[in-house]
Amino acid sequence: MHEADEHLRAISNLFSPVHDVRSVFSLMPAETEADWADIATRLRAVPASLESYRAALAAGLERGLPAGPRQVTTVIGQLEEWIADGAEKSWFAQFVADGPEALRTELAEGAREATGAIVALREWLAGTYSPGVAGAPQIVGRERYARWVRYWNGTDLDLDEAYAYGWSEFHRLHAEMKAEAAKILPGATPWETLRHLDTEGEAVEGVEEIRVWLQELMDEAIEALDGTHFELADRVKRVESMIAPPGSAAAPYYTSPSLDFSRPGRTWLPTMGETRFPVYDLVSTWYHEGVPGHHLQLAQWAHVADQLSRYQTTVGMVSANAEGWALYAERLMDELGFLDNAERRLGYLDCQMMRAVRVIIDIGMHLELEIPADSPFHPGERWTPELAQEFFGQHSGRPADFVESELVRYLGMPGQAIGYKLGERAWLRGREAARAAHGDAFDAKKWHMAALSQGSLGLDDLEAELSAL
């Protein structure tokens, strides 16, 4: 990736150097005066960091390596949210507001410097970079896409087979969704039913209330699963529900614990300005982001880090391994009966459908593939980002701003979104092979803990290793 100069066009609405710079502060300890002194020092380093990032993008522009215009526009909008109404109300200013009185001046000055650097980057992106990439292609083409697929998935995929698999999952899930929707709103389509649930289904009112509700959901899952399907160390059982800072992408996310567990694993919910939260899809999503999904896997890696390499536990994480496990975790909770009503099960199926749609449109639009003849949507045409967004919107229970954010994500992170479904397939195949090998002696709890203690593997190795456990 480095040799291909991908770092010189690294603009994304979810993972990019500028997002990494801000996320550092969300993860730093902020309990003692010494902690806040470290924060003040790091705030003063933001301008140099962002200037280095700007210089890299400028070098890419000079070499004819542009980022896609759509993700540039989106990131400019995100930076505007971080800036808010000026240095005194910016995200950085609000972040340091709770700092100790003894460091008030130093923290405020650091926040002003950091905010000023964000302002300067936003102005450069809007005034120089955005005009410079106007008209550049949004899609990456087969050569760049294959390289990104290797990066995110740890394998060289047969992309045509993967595309066909996405369609097969689409048709399977569509049939299941129709059957589940009929239990809630007979005669309605699955997505009409989901829109009905947005206003008439189970929901939680209030931002703090949904944070607490999600925390309780994870705590209940840990209590139910520990000792039955998993054997969890005490420190792995600690996970915190958080509200994502403004200016984030629309998708929820998870951050791992530190290797010494002084910082716990955390799930993050972007509220997108909402204060009422339907829960039909949040249940399955928090089984994915929290327990038994990302948290149990990534916290277990930290727990057994002394038996693994630093590469296996941190910097070597292969996205498709982790996202595949998290999607497998959603399915596991369905298999175990935790999605105990039609609303929550339809939400789970909608989450699964979103991952199948990702395989279809991420591969389809970047490779400009033909839409199959048996598709209910524009059969025979070739994918474009515009068709991809329309298809996603028609086959998802998510609101339009979420769909928009997701499409920009796929344009800026090609090959990442397909790893959920393809990774889940590897986890399922590995489990079935292990079960077949052991017969009646197969122990799911033992298998889960062994599987979660491997550290990161690419899909080239994952299925074979899971099968041998």
User: How far, in Å, CA of 67 to CA of 429, rounded?
Assistant: 37
User: How far, in Å, CA of 218 to CA of 132, rounded?
Assistant: 46
Domain end, chosen from 412, 437, 463, is at: 412
User: How far, in Å, CA of 4 to CA of 27, rounded?
Assistant: 31
User: How far, in Å, CA of 40 to CA of 33, rounded?
Assistant: 10
Judge whether residue 361 has pLDDT over 80: yes
Domain end, chosen from 87, 115, 136, is at: 136
One domain, residues 248 and 100: no
| Residue 61 φ then ψ, to 5° | -65, -45
Q: What is the pLDDT of residues 214-242, one digit of tens each?
A: 999 999 999 999 999 999 999 999 999 99
Q: Is residue 441 part of a domain?
A: no
Q: Is residue 237 part of a domain?
A: yes
Decide: 168 and 356 in contact? Cβ < 8 Å: no
Q: Is residue 420 part of a domain?
A: no
Q: Is residue 450 part of a domain?
A: no
Residues paired with 204 in a beta bridge: 277
Q: What is the pLDDT of residues 366-378, one digit of tens each?
A: 999 999 999 999 9
User: How far, in Å, CA of 243 to CA of 271, rounded?
Assistant: 7
User: How far, in Å, CA of 214 to CA of 279, rounded?
Assistant: 10
Instruction: Count the neighbouring beta carbons within 10 Å of the beta carbon of residue 436.
Output: 10
Mark out the alpha helices in 84-206 (DSSP H runs).
91-96, 104-124, 130-133, 141-153, 159-184, 190-200
Q: Is residue 16 part of a domain?
A: yes
Helix (H, G, I), strand (E, B) or coil at 453: coil
Both structure tokens of 373: 């003849």
Q: What is the pLDDT of residues 246-278, one digit of tens each?
A: 877 788 999 999 999 999 999 999 998 999 999
Residue numbers of the domain that contains 377: 148-412
Q: What is the mean pLDDT of residues 322-342?
A: 97
Predicted confidence band of residue 153 (pLDDT cuts 50, 70, 90): very high
One domain, residues 102 and 155: no
Domain end, chosen from 388, 412, 436, is at: 412
One domain, residues 129 and 153: no
Sign of torsion, CA 41 44 45 46?
A: positive
One domain, residues 107 and 16: yes
Into how many domains does the chain fold?
Answer: 2
Q: What is the pLDDT of residues 91-120, one digit of tens each?
A: 999 999 999 999 999 999 999 999 999 999
- Give the CA count within 13 Å in the CB-facing half-sphere of 284: 27
Both structure tokens of 61: 């522009």
Instruction: Count the neighbouring beta carbons within 10 Å of the beta carbon of residue 168.
Output: 11
